[in-house]
Chain A
Amino acid sequence: MAEQHKVLLAGADERDLTQLAEYQAVGGYRAVEKARAMTSDALIDELQKANLRGRGGAGFPMGRKASLIDRKSAKPKYLVVNADESEPGAFKDREVMARVPHRLIEGCLIAAHAIESTDVFIYIRGEYLTEYEILAAAVDEARDAGIFGDVRIVVHRGAGAYICGEETALLESLEGKRGQPRPRPPFPPIQGLYAAPTQINNVCTIATVPVILELGAEEFAKTGAPSSPGTAIFSVSGNVARPGNYELDLGTPMRELIYEHAGGIAAGRELKAVIPGGSSVPALTPDQIDVPLDYDSLGAIGTFFGAASLIVVDDRCCMVQLAIRSTKFYMHESCGKCTPCRVGTRWMVQILEAIENGTATHADLELLDSVGDNIMGKVLCALGEFAVYPVASYLHKWRDEFEAHIEHGGCPFGSSSSLDGILAPSDQHAHTPAGTEALV
C-alpha cells in the first residue's frame, strides 16, 4: 500500500497525542516558543512566505489573511477557528480535533501572536460531542500548564446548521444570532466578530501553522505542490474499498488516492463519478481523474479543491437521484435570507423530482439550468452556488441520463439504483403527525 505523509497527524499513530505530556514529548509547543520570540511583523512575513492556503475550501493564503488584520485597531483582535465541519464528504477536521488537539491549540497560539490577539474562539459543530470533549479537555490541560500566557481560548459549540461553516454566518452565530451570512465588504479582517478585526481559519489550516515554524517557511514552501505547499488530509467516502482519511502531499494524483490508498472501487464495480471537494463542487467523469490534487490543478478542470473530500460514486448510481439528494440538503440548509437560494433550491428539487418521476419534458432541463443561473452570483454567500455547481455538472456531463428519464417516462434504473428511495430529513415533514388524521 502506498505510504501516507503524516505531518498534521504525525505521531498520532504511535502515541496518545491528546495528552499534553505526550505531545510535548514529540516536540509539541516548541513552535509557539519560537513564534513568541519573533515580532508579529516577522511572524506574519514568515506565514506569508510559507504560502499556506486555507484548507476550509476557498484556498486563500493564511498569511495574507493575517496581514490584512488591522493590528493598530483600538478594538480587540479576534482569532476564530472554523471547526463547523459540515460539508457532506468531509471528516478531516474531526480527526485532527480527536487525535491531535494540541497541534490545533498550538496553531491558535501562534496565529494569535501574529495578529496580536488574546482572544481565540473555536467554533465546533454541535454534533461533534466526543471531539468537543477531547478538545475542551486539551484546552484545559494546556491552560493549566501555563502555556497560554495571556491568551484565552473558548471552545464554542454550534447547534446544527450547515450554513455556520460560512465564515460570516459563523460570526453571526458566535454573536448569538441566527447563522445568516453578512454582506461583504466589510470583510472580517476589518470588521468581524463583535465588529472587531477578526482572522478566521479552518482547523487544518491552523493545525498546519506549527509545522511551518518547525520547518521554517522556506522549507515548508518546498513541500507539496509548487502553488499549494504542504500536505492535506483527504477524506475519501462513497463506493471505495477502503474509505477514510489519508494525509498526503498536495499534488498527489487523484488516481493514486482513489486506487492505491483507498483501494479502488468497492466490490468490483466501475467508477462513474468523483465529487472531489465535498458534495458542493462539480463532479468529474472517470477520464478526468488523472489530475494532481491541488487548488490550481482542480480549478483548471472546472472544479474545486474544496474541503479535500472525495465522494466516489460507482455505476449503480442514478445521477438524477444523486442530484435530488444533494439539492435537498442545500434546500434544507438554506438560511432563508436570500430569495434566489431560498426559493431556487426548492424549485430545483421540484424539477428534479419531476424528471425522476417521468413527468418532466425536455424544456424542464433548460428550466433547471435557468433556475441555477438565477441563483449563481445573486446571493450573499456560496451556499446557493453550492446547490447549483454539482447539479449543473451532473446535467451537462450525464445529460443522456437526464434525457433518458424524460424519454423513458421515469427512472431507467427502475429500483436498481444505489440511491433508490433514499430518505432526506426534509421528507419527514410529509409524515402525518400522530393524532392529526382527523384534521385532514
Chain B
Amino acid sequence: MSSLYDEIQEVRARYPEGSRSAVLPALRLAQERDGWLSREALAEVADALEVTPAFCYSIATFYDMFHLEPVGRHTIDVCTNLPCALCGAQEVVEAFESELGIRAGETTPDGGVTLRAVECLGGCGYATVVAVDDRYRQQVRPETVPAIVEDVRG
C-alpha cells in the first residue's frame, strides 16, 4: 500500500506545476485514511504539498465535507433544504433521531454513527434524500428509516 505522501504526489501531477490545486484531493485522501482531519494529518498533507499547515487548515475549515473533529464510523446526512423539507424531511430527521437515540449533529455513544441535517444534496425530485456514507438513498420516509439504520449498523 502506498503512503499518503506518495498518493498526494500522484494527484499533484494532474495539475500545473506550482499550483495548489491538489489541496482538496489531498485533504480528501487524508480524511479517507483517518476518518477525519487531525492537526497531525493537516501537517502531513502540508508537508506533501510543500505548503504550511495553516494553509491546509484554512482550506479544511471552508468546505463542509471536511471533518475537523472525529465522526462516527458511519455518517448519515439528511437533506433538510426546501424541496426535501416540503416533502417531510423533518419527520425523517426525527425518525433517525429516535432510532439512533441521538439528536442531529451528534454521534452515537459507541462511535458508530454520526447523524446530521445537511443542505441540498441535489436529489430534490426524489425527496427525502439521505446520504449514508456518501451514497444516496432516495425517497426516504420515516417508515423506511429503521431498515436503513439496521443496514448501517450491519
Asked if chains A and B come from one complex, the reply is yes
Q: Which residues of A contact B103 (CB under 8 A)?
A: 431
Report A117-154 residues with CB < 8 Å from chain B CB: 125-130, 154
Which listed segment binds A: B2-10, B81-89, B141-149?
B81-89
Q: Which of B103, B119, B124 gathers most chain A CB within 10 Å?
A: B124
Q: Which residues of B contact A176 (CB under 8 A)?
A: 19-24, 59
A205 located at the interface, meaning its Cβ lies under 8 Å from any Cβ of chain B in the complex: no
Q: Which residues of A contact B153 (CB under 8 A)?
A: none
Give the distance in Å from the alpha carbon of A87 to the alpha carbon of B124 in the complex.
10
B86 touches A238 (CB 8 A): yes
Q: Which of B23, B58, B105, B126 gathers most chain A CB within 10 Å?
A: B105
B87 → A minimal CB distance (Å): 7
Q: Which residues of B contact A306 (CB under 8 A)?
A: none
B25 → A minimal CB distance (Å): 7
Q: Which residues of A contact B22 (CB under 8 A)?
A: 176
A329 touches B19 (CB 8 A): no
A160 touches B58 (CB 8 A): no
Cβ contact of A160, chosen from B63, B89, B117, B123, cutoff 8 A = B63
Query: Contact string, A227-255, partner B, CB cutoff 8 A, digits 1/0?
Result: 00000000111110001110000000000
B83 touches A425 (CB 8 A): no
Closest to B69 in A: A433
Q: Which of B116, B125, B134 gathers most chain A CB within 10 Å?
A: B125
Q: Which residues of B contact A160 (CB under 8 A)?
A: 63-66
Report A164-216 residues with CB < 8 Å from chain B CB: 173-179, 194
Give the distance in Å from the alpha carbon of A159 to the alpha carbon of B62 in the complex.
9
Cβ contact of B124, chosen from A88, A175, A427, cutoff 8 A = A88
Cβ contact of A159, chosen from B15, B20, B66, B125, cutoff 8 A = B66
Given A126-B65, A157-B28, A245–B125 Cβ distance below 8 Å?
A: yes
A237 touches B21 (CB 8 A): no
Report A40-57 residues with CB < 8 Å from chain B CB: none
B62 touches A161 (CB 8 A): yes
Query: Contact string, B106-134, partner A, CB cutoff 8 A, digits 1/0?
Result: 10000000001111111111110001001
Give the distance in Å from the alpha carbon of A329 to the alpha carbon of B103 in the complex.
20
Which listed segment binds B: A62-70, A292-300, A367-375, A415-423?
A415-423
Q: Which residues of A contact B118 (CB under 8 A)?
A: 425
A422 touches B83 (CB 8 A): no
Given A160-B65, A194-B19, A235-B125, A329–B83 Cβ distance below 8 Å?
A: no
Closest to B136 in A: A130
A26 located at the interface, meaning its Cβ lies under 8 Å from any Cβ of chain B in the complex: no
Given A154-B14, A235-B125, A431-B106, A332–B85 Cβ distance below 8 Å?
A: no
A350 located at the interface, meaning its Cβ lies under 8 Å from any Cβ of chain B in the complex: no
A424 touches B64 (CB 8 A): no
Give the distance in Å from the alpha carbon of A332 to the alpha carbon of B81 in the complex.
12
Closest to B61 in A: A178
A425 touches B80 (CB 8 A): yes
B16 located at the interface, meaning its Cβ lies under 8 Å from any Cβ of chain A in the complex: yes
Question: How many residues from B make CB contacts under 8 Å with A?
Answer: 50
B123 → A minimal CB distance (Å): 6
Give the distance in Å from the alpha carbon of A159 to the alpha carbon of B117 in the complex.
17
A271 → B minimal CB distance (Å): 13
Report B1-49 residues with CB < 8 Å from chain A CB: 14-16, 19-25, 27-28
A148 → B minimal CB distance (Å): 14
Cβ contact of A428, chosen from B27, B62, B116, B136, cutoff 8 A = B116
B90 touches A423 (CB 8 A): yes
A129 touches B135 (CB 8 A): yes
Give the distance in Å from the alpha carbon of A18 to the alpha carbon of B86 in the complex.
33
Closest to A421 in B: B90
Query: Contact string, B54-78, partner A, CB cutoff 8 A, digits 1/0?
Result: 0000110011111000000000000
Given A88-B82, A279-B82, A431-B105, A425–B119 Cβ distance below 8 Å?
A: yes
A25 → B minimal CB distance (Å): 29
Q: Which residues of A contact B126 (CB under 8 A)?
A: 91, 243-244
B124 touches A311 (CB 8 A): yes
B86 touches A313 (CB 8 A): yes
Closest to A309 in B: B124
A264 located at the interface, meaning its Cβ lies under 8 Å from any Cβ of chain B in the complex: no
Give the distance in Å from the alpha carbon of A329 to the alpha carbon of B122 in the complex.
14
Cβ contact of A157, chosen from B24, B116, B119, cutoff 8 A = B24
B93 located at the interface, meaning its Cβ lies under 8 Å from any Cβ of chain A in the complex: yes
Given A236-B125, A329-B120, A424-B117, A177–B59 Cβ distance below 8 Å?
A: yes
Closest to A419 in B: B85
A90 located at the interface, meaning its Cβ lies under 8 Å from any Cβ of chain B in the complex: yes
Query: Contact string, A323-345, partner B, CB cutoff 8 A, digits 1/0?
Result: 00110010011010000000000
A79 located at the interface, meaning its Cβ lies under 8 Å from any Cβ of chain B in the complex: no
Q: Which residues of B contact A174 (CB under 8 A)?
A: 21
Cβ contact of B83, chosen from A85, A88, A421, cutoff 8 A = A88
B86 touches A423 (CB 8 A): no
A161 touches B59 (CB 8 A): no
15 A-B pairs within 8 Å (CB atoms) are namely A90-B124, A130-B136, A154-B15, A156-B21, A157-B24, A162-B120, A176-B22, A176-B24, A243-B126, A311-B124, A325-B81, A419-B85, A421-B90, A422-B90, A431-B105
Question: Which 5 pairs across A and B sit closest by C-beta, in order of nearness?
Answer: A176-B20, A428-B105, A160-B64, A237-B124, A159-B63
Q: Which residues of B contact A (CB under 8 A)?
A: 14-16, 19-25, 27-28, 58-59, 62-66, 80-83, 85-90, 93, 103-106, 116-127, 131, 134-136
